[in-house]
Amino acid sequence: MSKALGALVLVAGIAGLGYWGAQSHAVSMQARIATAAQQAVTGTVHPMAVRVSGRDITLTGLADTRTELDRVIAGLDAIRGRRVVNAGDVEVLPDIAPYETALAKGADGSLAATGYAPSAVARAGLAAAVPGAEALPLGHGAPEGWGAALAAGGAALGPLDAGSFALTGGTLTLSGTAATPAEDAAARGALGDLAGFDAVIAIDVTDPGQIGFTLSYEAETGYKLAGIVPQAFGMEGIASALGRDAIAGEVATTFADLPGLAGRLDGMGRFAALLESYTLTATNDGVAIAGAALPGLDADIVFGQIAEAFGTIEGLTISAGAMPPEGAERMNAATGLRQVAHGGTWITIPGFEPTRARCTEAAMARVAAQPIRFMTGSAALDPYSLATVNDVAGIVMLCTRDPGMRVVIGGHTDAEGDDTANYSLSVARARAVRDALIARGVAPERMTAMGYGETEPIADNDTEEGRARNRRTTFDWPG
């Protein structure tokens, strides 16, 4: 009995050892197969998962190409001890040719992506900068440098108001709208020279920075402006620089600047009273002025006055103005005053009610602003004074139309030289002014020329400045 029991125990032990050995061997084999299977999927473009059950291998995930999948399956098939390799759930990415990924920037600054991404990792990187890019489908065939190209494309769209960037095979295409050449250059610079790609760039520049406008002036009709002006001025700024509340015309603006423009406009606003017309043409290269002097004014002298105020101006030309018909009337747009044509020139008639005090004040204010000068040592009028004489003629014409209104024109000298000679010179100069006013239509019987020599100084004759002030012409309407 004991022998039989011992034999049974021995058999059971041997069977248990066999079962344990079989189980232990199976576990060890499964682990070995799993390790080998994991090595077979190492280095794939996309994550692939392997699951080992017993000696069966199941493969899932994405394969970049059929070739890659076949390589992995072949590696799994070669594992010693494996039984079945199941790869039916593996998705092979479609082969895209030509491969395209595109970015678009809207007017509101938002970015959108279309096309394909080469991997989930690359797609996530793009989505960090372009919301919505995580929805791009994956596809095989992306050119080398896909990520760098898309990053450069996004940077190139940054300076543009709106635009699109496309990576199509080995070609980069950038198009859109830039506000100025600076943004255009920034976009091109961001795209740079990416190795291995051809670039096609088409950017429209809204404001190319080109100044080009014409300011025209006619004494009778005023100013008109057309073209592209610096935005620092605009229409209102041009008018303000000319000393006007408003001017006619329509303009566009540019970011570009034109140094010295404000001074040119200010000067032409001031000198308009000497001109019958002019055209100021401005470009990025500078300003050119072509004008015609008021009839009766010497064109060379007007040119000299403008050139002296501006300095050297290339392209400044002043011609003689056409003579108006005798007796014609108009409103001068520069001064807003009525003018009457007489003796081949325009005489400005001031717009105030004449009284003795008001007439004296107006005439003396005009000669204070720009004195009547004479050639040195003589009674010949300096041609630079003709504009002043024309304006004074209008004042005197208005202020002598009533029978009781008479003007005394006084000539004054400094104290240099002989007293008698100074007196004679002062009389001759007063008469020269009277003759000039007669030539401009003032009734001679309403004017008296008086010489005072050096007897009525208004400043110190010991200084040149004082002597210059004492050499003067006065106008007085005595009561």
* C-alpha span between 77 and 104 (Å, rounded): 46
User: Is residue 108 assigned to a domain?
Assistant: yes
Rg (CA), the chain: 48
User: Is residue 4 assigned to a domain?
Assistant: no
58 and 115 assigned to the same domain:
no
Using alpha carbons, list the distances in angstroms from residue 240 to 160, 255, 373, 386: 34, 19, 32, 28
In tens digits, the chain (479 residues) has pLDDT values of 455 545 454 444 444 444 444 455 678 889 999 999 899 999 999 999 999 998 999 999 999 999 999 999 999 999 998 999 999 999 999 999 999 999 999 999 999 999 999 999 999 999 999 999 999 999 999 999 999 999 999 999 999 999 999 999 999 999 999 999 999 999 999 998 788 899 999 999 999 999 999 999 999 999 999 999 999 999 999 999 999 999 999 999 999 999 989 988 988 888 888 899 999 999 999 999 999 998 988 899 889 888 887 776 678 999 999 999 998 999 988 878 899 998 888 898 998 999 999 999 999 999 999 899 999 889 999 888 888 999 999 999 999 999 889 999 999 999 999 999 999 999 999 999 999 999 999 999 999 999 999 999 999 999 999 999 999 999 999 97
What CATH number does residue 48 fall under? 3.30.300
User: Is residue 391 assigned to a domain?
Assistant: yes
54 and 116 assigned to the same domain:
no
- Provide the domain limits for residue 357: 350-476
360 and 464 assigned to the same domain:
yes
Q: What is the pLDDT of residue 11?
A: 45
User: Is residue 315 assigned to a domain?
Assistant: yes
24 by DSSP, 3-state: which? helix
- Looking at 172, 205, 238, the residue that finishes a domain is 205
Phi, psi of 156 (to 5 degrees): -70, -30
Using alpha carbons, list the distances in angstroms from residue 33 to 20, 45, 83, 93: 20, 22, 10, 27
Count other Cβ atoms within 10 Å, centred on residue 171.
14
User: Is residue 358 assigned to a domain?
Assistant: yes
384 and 461 assigned to the same domain:
yes
Total count of domains within the chain: 4
* C-alpha span between 280 and 433 (Å, rounded): 34
Using alpha carbons, list the distances in angstroms from residue 310 to 119, 266, 293: 68, 10, 17
pTM summary value:
0.69
Which residue type sits at 417?
A: G
User: Is residue 113 assigned to a domain?
Assistant: yes
Q: What is the pLDDT of residue 15?
A: 45
- Looking at 182, 205, 228, the residue that finishes a domain is 205
470 and 415 assigned to the same domain:
yes
153 and 54 assigned to the same domain:
no
Which residue type sits at 318?
A: I
- Looking at 205, 240, 259, the residue that finishes a domain is 205
User: Is residue 18 assigned to a domain?
Assistant: no
User: Is residue 325 assigned to a domain?
Assistant: no
182 and 243 assigned to the same domain:
no
127 and 194 assigned to the same domain:
yes
What CATH number does residue 239 fall under? 3.40.1520.20
What CATH number does residue 354 fall under? 3.30.1330.60
221 and 293 assigned to the same domain:
yes
Indicate the burial class of 263 (C-beta count within 10 angstroms; 0-12, 13-18, 19 or more).
Answer: middle
* C-alpha span between 290 and 419 (Å, rounded): 47
* C-alpha span between 223 and 244 (Å, rounded): 9
Ramachandran quadrant class, 350 (left: phi over 0; alpha: psi -120 to 50; beta: rest): beta
358 and 467 assigned to the same domain:
yes
Q: What is the pLDDT of residue 344?
A: 87
